C-alpha cells in the first residue's frame, strides 16, 4: 500500500477544517473535548453533534485514500474479528470484519500508520486491506463480540459474596504475588515440561482468577496467551471487564501454565473437549461462594498463540422486579393483576403468555408476575434455560436439552413440565413454548388446576392464539385454557435532559387519527434535541409498550369456531367489553404522555419475531 507523504502530514483538524465541515469555534470546542476525554478528535466532533458521522468518515477516507465502513450496513464476521485478540484490537483501534477473496478487511480508526498494517499482516498471516471506521463504532463492535459489562447495581446480596471472597482471594493472590518476583525463576524451571492440569497449584491459580474477578466485580474474565516475537515476554494475560472497561489482573501467570490453566477451566465445565484446541468451544462452570451458586459461561477460542478462554459471569442474584415499574398503563396493569389474583387452592388456573421478539423484555415481565404472586403459601416452580435470576422462595430448575436422561429422552421444557406435575405446584413458569409437546403439556397443566406462565415467539397478542393452535392442541383446549396474552416491545424513552415540546406534523396527526385518536390543536408531543447525556440521540432508557388480550367469553366464543388472528383481534377490539388497545395505541398514549416518540413506537411495534 502506497502512502502519500503529503496527505500524512495533514492533521485531522486540517482535513475537517479544509473541507469547511466545521467552524473554527466548534473545532476549538471539539479539541478541548478531545483533550479532556482522550477520545480522538474526529469522534469528539461527531459526539458533540458538530458534523455528522458519515461526512467525517467521507472527508477523512478521501484524504487517506481508504474506503469508509459503517457497521450499520456491514455484518461483522466474528470469526474474522477473532483473528487477533480483543486486547490487540482495542490497543490498535482496529477490527478485522470480513474476509473477501482471501483478503482480510480491517476497519481502522486511523489507517495512517503503515506499521500497524504490517503488524496485522504478521499477526494474521494474511493479506489485509484497511477501511476507515469511527473509533467508537469499532469499540462498540468489539464490545458486542467480546461482551460488555453486566449491570452491577446491586439489589443487595451481592456485596456479601464479594466480602466473603475478598479475604480468600487476598490469601491466594498473596501467594502468587509473592512468587511474582521469582516468576522468571519459575519460568526457567518449568519451561521445558508442560505443567499438568492436575497440578495442585493450577487449581489454586484458577480459583484465584475467579475470586479476583468476583472481588473486582468483573462481568467477564479473559485469559489470553500472548507470545512475544522475541520470546522474552511471553505472557498469559488475565484481564477483567469491570463496568465495561477491560483491565489487566494485578498478577501474572507463568507462561508454562498456559495450557494447564485453560485445560483446568475446560475440566470444570465437565462438557468441553480437553484435547480439541483448534475449534471454539463453550460450556458452563458453577462455583459456590458463601453458599450461593455463581455461574460462568465459558468460551474457548483458538488464537494464533494458543487457546484463550473467556468467562462471562451469569450473576444470578435475587431480583426484585416490580410489576408496577414496567411502564404499564394503569388500566392494563389492573387487568393483568386481576388475572394473577386468587392463586392457590386451584382457584386461579389457566395459561398466561407473554409474547414479543427477542429482547422485548418478556422474561422480565414474567419474573415481575412471579414476584407479584410469590407468597410463602404458594408453591411456584420454574423451568428455565438458563436460570437468569434467583427469586427467593421459588423452586427454579435449569433445563438443558443437551442432557440425555434416558434413551431418547432429553431434559427439555416438556420433560421438566411433566415432572413438575407430580410436585403439585400452584404456579408453573416455563421459559418458552415452542413445540407441540411443550404446548400440550403446558395446557394440560393449565387445565388441571395450575397457573402456567410462559413466553412464545409471535408478533402480536391475537396471532399467539392461532400460533398455539397451529402447534397442534385442539381449538377447544386453546380457547378454554388461555387466560390472556400480553404482547410487548421496548421503546427508547425521550432523554429527560434535552426533552422539549415539538409541534405535530400533518403526517403525525394522521398517524394518530388512523389509530383512533382525536387530537386538538393544542396537543403537544415531545422530542429530545440531543445532548451529552444521551450521546446526541435524544433518547435514553427504555419503556415497555403493551397489548393485553383477555380471553373473555366473547373472544373465547370466536376462538372456538375461528382461530385466525384477524377474527380474534376483531373480537377483542370491537366486540368484547374489554375493548383491547393495540400495541401502537398503547405506544401513542405514551407519546402523548411525553415518554417516547412516534418513530420509536412505530419502529418497535412493526418489529417481527424471527
Ligand atoms: Zn439528551
Residue 147, C-alpha cell as written in the block = 461482551
Burial 36-68 (b: 16+ CB within 10 A, else e): eeebbbbbbbbbbebbebeebbbbbbebbebeb
Tell how far the Cα of 94 is from the centroid of ligand 1, in angstroms.
29
Task: For residue 356, report the distance from its CA to the centre of ligand 1, in Å.
Answer: 28
**The three cell numbers locating residue 293:** 451458586
Q: How far is the CA of 494 from the centre of ligand 1 (A)?
A: 8
Number of neighbours of residue 495 by Cβ within 10 angstroms: 22
Q: What is the pLDDT of residue 100?
A: 83
Instruction: Determine the distance separating the centroid of ligand 1 and the alpha carbon of 166, expressed in angstroms.
Output: 39
Q: How far is CA 549 from CA 108, 337, 351, in A?
A: 50, 13, 12
Q: How many CB atoms lie within 10 A of CB 587?
A: 29
pLDDT confidence of residue 347 = 77
Ligand 1 centre to CA of 386 (Å) is 35
Instruction: Find the 498 Cα to ligand 1 centroid distance in Å.
Output: 4
Upper half-sphere CA count for residue 61 (Cβ side, 13 Å): 18
Quote the ligand 1 centre to 361 CA distance (angstroms): 24
Q: How far is 35 from 184, CA to CA, in rounded Å?
A: 39
Cell of 381: 416452580
Backbone angles phi and psi of 311, in degrees to 5: -120, 125
Closest by CA to 545, choosing from 499, 610, 602, is 602
Residue 218 vs residue 149, higher pLDDT: 218
- Give 115-128 pLDDT, tens digit per residue: 788 888 888 888 88
Greatest mean pLDDT among 118-132, 278-292, 403-417 lies in 118-132
Q: Is the pTM higher than 0.85?
A: no
Q: What is the pLDDT of residue 195?
A: 67
The average confidence (pLDDT) of the chain is 82
> How far is residue 466 CA from its own chain's centroid?
30
Who wins on pLDDT, 610 or 606? 606
Centre of ligand 1 from the C-alpha of residue 204, in Å:
48
**What separation in Å is there between the alpha carbon of 499 and the centre of ligand 1?**
7
The predicted-structure confidence for 309-336, as pLDDT tens digits, reads as follows: 989 887 555 455 789 889 999 999 999 9
CA of 540 to the centre of ligand 1 (A): 7
Residue 160 has pLDDT above 50, yes or no: no
Please spell the DSSP secondary structure of 20-36, one letter per residue: T-S-HHHHHHHHHHHHH
Distance from the CA of 49 to the center of ligand 1, in angstroms? 12
Q: Is the pLDDT of residue 599 over 70?
A: yes
CB atoms within 10 A of CB 396: 17
Distance 238 CA to ligand 1 centre (A): 37
193: DSSP letter: S
Q: What is the pLDDT of residues 22-40, one digit of tens each?
A: 999 999 999 998 888 888 9
Tell me 343's DSSP state.
-
Going by C-alpha positions, the residue among 26, 24, 42 that lies closest to residue 34 is: 42
446 backbone dihedrals φ, ψ, rounded to 5°: -65, -35
Q: Of 481, 488, 415, which Cα lies nearest the Cα of 452?
A: 481
pLDDT in tens, 483-517: 999 999 999 999 999 999 999 999 999 999 999 99
Residue 542 Cα to ligand 1 middle (Å): 14
Whether residue 133 has pLDDT greater than 60: yes
Choose the most confident range, by mean pLDDT, from 97-106, 408-417, 446-455: 446-455
Place of cell 407468597: 375
What spacing in Å lies between the alpha carbon of 44 and ligand 1's midpoint?
16
For the ranges 368-382, 408-422, 562-576, the lowest mean pLDDT is seen at 408-422
Q: How far is the CA of 527 from the centre of ligand 1 (A)?
A: 9
Query: What distance in angstroms lies between residue 599's CA and the mean position of ligand 1's atoms?
Result: 16
What is the pLDDT averaged over residues 251-258? 80
Please give the Cα distance from 368 to 320 (Å, whole number): 8
Residue 538 Cα to ligand 1 middle (Å): 5
Give which of 200, 198, 249 is closest to 87, Cα–Cα.
249
For 256, 302, 354, 451, the CA distances from 351, given in Å and listed in that order, are 57, 46, 10, 6
Cα distance between residue 220 and residue 577, in whole Å: 51
Residue 460 has a pLDDT of 94
Distance of CA 562 to the CA centre of its chain: 38
Q: Calculate how far, in angstroms, residue 525's C-alpha sits from the geometric centre of ligand 1.
A: 16
| 450 CB burial (10 A radius; 0-12, 13-18, 19+) | buried
Q: What pLDDT is stored for residue 407 in this prediction?
A: 55
Does residue 6 surpass a pLDDT of 50?
Answer: no
Roughly what angle, to the nearest 10 degrees, separates helices 183-190 and 158-180? 70
| Span from the CA of 73 to the centroid of ligand 1 (angstroms) | 25
Of 73, 81, 91, nearest in space to 128 by CA: 81
Cα 26 to ligand 1 centroid, rounded to whole Å: 19
Q: What is the pLDDT of residue 456?
A: 94
Q: With 0-12 CB in 10 A as exposed, 13-18 as middle and 19+ as buried, what is 554? A: middle
Measured in Å, residue 532 CA sits from the centre of ligand 1 at: 6
**Mind listing the pLDDT tens digit for each residue in 551-574?**
999 999 999 999 999 999 999 999
DSSP class of residue 574? I
Centre of ligand 1 from the C-alpha of residue 530, in Å: 4
Q: Please tell me the distance from the alpha carbon of residue 568 to that of residue 559, in angstroms, as a whole number.
A: 6
Give the model's confidence band at 258: pLDDT under 50 very low, under 70 low, under 90 confident, else very high. confident
Cβ proximity of 348 and 342 under 8 Å: yes
Amino acid at each position: 500500500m502506497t502512502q502519500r507523504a503529503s496527505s500524512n502530514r495533514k492533521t485531522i483538524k486540517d482535513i475537517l477544517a479544509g473541507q469547511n465541515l466545521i467552524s473554527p469555534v466548534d473545532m476549538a470546542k471539539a479539541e478541548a473535548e478531545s483533550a479532556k476525554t482522550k477520545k480522538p478528535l474526529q469522534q469528539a466532533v461527531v459526539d458533540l453533534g458538530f458534523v455528522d458521522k458519515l461526512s467525517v468518515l467521507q472527508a477523512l477516507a478521501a484524504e487517506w485514500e481508504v474506503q469508509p465502513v459503517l457497521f450499520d450496513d456491514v455484518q461483522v464476521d466474528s470469526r474474522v474479528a477473532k483473528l487477533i485478540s480483543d486486547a490487540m484490537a482495542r490497543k490498535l483501534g482496529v477490527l478485522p470484519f470480513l474476509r473477501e477473496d482471501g483478503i482480510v478487511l480491517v476497519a481502522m480508526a486511523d489507517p495512517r500508520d503503515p506499521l500497524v498494517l504490517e503488524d496485522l499482516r504478521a499477526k494474521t498471516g494474511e493479506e489485509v486491506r484497511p477501511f476507515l471506521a469511527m473509533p467508537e463504532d469499532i469499540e462498540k463492535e468489539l464490545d458486542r463480540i467480546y461482551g460488555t459489562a453486566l449491570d452491577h447495581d446491586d439489589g443487595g446480596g451481592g456485596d456479601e459474596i464479594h466480602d466473603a471472597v475478598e479475604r480468600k482471594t487476598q490469601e491466594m493472590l498473596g501467594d502468587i504475588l509473592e512468587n511474582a518476583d521469582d516468576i522468571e525463576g519459575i519460568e526457567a524451571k518449568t519451561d521445558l515440561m508442560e505443567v499438568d492440569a492436575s497440578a495442585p497449584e493450577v487449581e489454586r491459580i484458577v480459583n484465584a482468577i475467579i475470586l479476583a474477578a468476583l472481588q473486582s466485580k468483573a462481568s467477564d474474565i479473559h485469559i489470553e496467551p500472548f507470545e512475544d516475537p522475541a520470546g522474552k515476554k511471553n505472557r498469559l494475560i488475565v484481564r477483567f471487564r469491570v463496568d465495561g472497561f477491560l483491565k489487566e489482573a494485578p498478577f501474572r501467570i507463568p507462561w508454562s501454565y498456559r495450557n494447564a490453566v485453560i485445560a483446568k477451566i475446560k475440566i470444570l465445565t465437565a462438557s468441553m473437549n480437553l484435547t480439541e484446541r483448534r475449534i471454539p468451544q463453550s460450556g458452563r462452570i458453577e462455583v459456590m461462594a458463601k453458599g450461593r451458586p455463581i455461574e460462568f459461561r465459558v468460551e474457548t477460542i483458538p488464537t494464533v498463540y494458543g487457546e484463550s478462554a473467556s468467562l462471562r459471569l451469569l450473576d444470578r442474584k435475587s431480583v426484585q422486579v416490580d410489576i408496577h415499574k414496567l411502564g404499564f398503563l394503569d388500566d392494563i396493569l389492573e387487568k393483568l393483576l386481576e388475572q394473577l389474583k386468587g392463586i392457590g387452592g386451584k382457584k386461579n388456573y389457566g395459561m398466561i403468555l407473554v409474547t414479543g421478539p427477542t429482547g422485548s423484555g418478556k422474561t422480565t415481565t414474567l419474573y415481575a408476575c412471579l414476584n407479584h404472586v410469590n407468597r410463602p403459601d404458594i408453591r411456584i416452580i420454574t423451568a428455565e434455560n438458563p436460570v437468569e435470576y434467583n427469586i427467593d422462595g421459588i423452586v427454579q430448575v435449569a433445563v438443558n436439552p443437551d442432557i440425555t436422561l434416558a434413551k431418547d429422552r432429553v431434559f427439555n421444557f416438556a420433560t421438566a413440565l411433566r415432572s413438575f406435575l407430580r410436585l403439585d405446584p400452584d404456579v408453573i413458569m416455563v421459559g418458552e413454548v415452542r413445540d407441540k409437546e411443550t404446548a400440550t403439556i403446558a395446557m394440560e397443566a393449565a387445565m388441571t388446576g395450575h397457573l402456567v406462565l410462559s413466553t412464545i415467539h409471535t408478533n402480536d397478542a391475537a396471532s399467539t392464539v392461532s400460533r398455539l393452535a397451529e402447534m397442534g392442541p385442539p381449538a377447544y383446549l386453546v380457547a378454554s385454557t388461555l387466560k390472556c396474552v400480553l404482547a410487548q416491545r421496548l421503546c427508547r424513552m425521550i432523554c429527560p435532559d434535552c426533552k422539549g415540546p415539538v409541534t405535530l406534523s400533518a403526517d403525525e396527526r394522521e398517524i394518530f387519527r388512523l389509530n383512533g385518536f382525536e387530537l386538538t390543536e393544542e396537543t403537544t408531543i415531545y422530542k429530545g434535541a440531543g445532548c451529552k447525556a444521551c450521546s446526541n440521540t435524544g433518547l435514553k432508557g427504555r419503556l415497555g409498550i403493551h397489548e393485553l388480550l383477555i380471553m373473555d367469553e366473547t373472544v373465547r366464543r370466536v376462538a372456538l369456531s375461528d382461530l385466525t388472528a384477524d377474527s380474534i383481534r376483531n373480537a377483542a377490539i370491537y366486540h368484547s367489553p374489554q375493548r383491547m388497545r393495540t400495541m401502537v395505541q398503547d405506544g401513542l398514549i405514551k407519546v402523548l404522555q411525553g415518554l417516547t416518540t412516534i418513530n420509536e413506537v412505530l419502529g418497535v411495534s412493526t418489529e417481527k419475531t424471527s
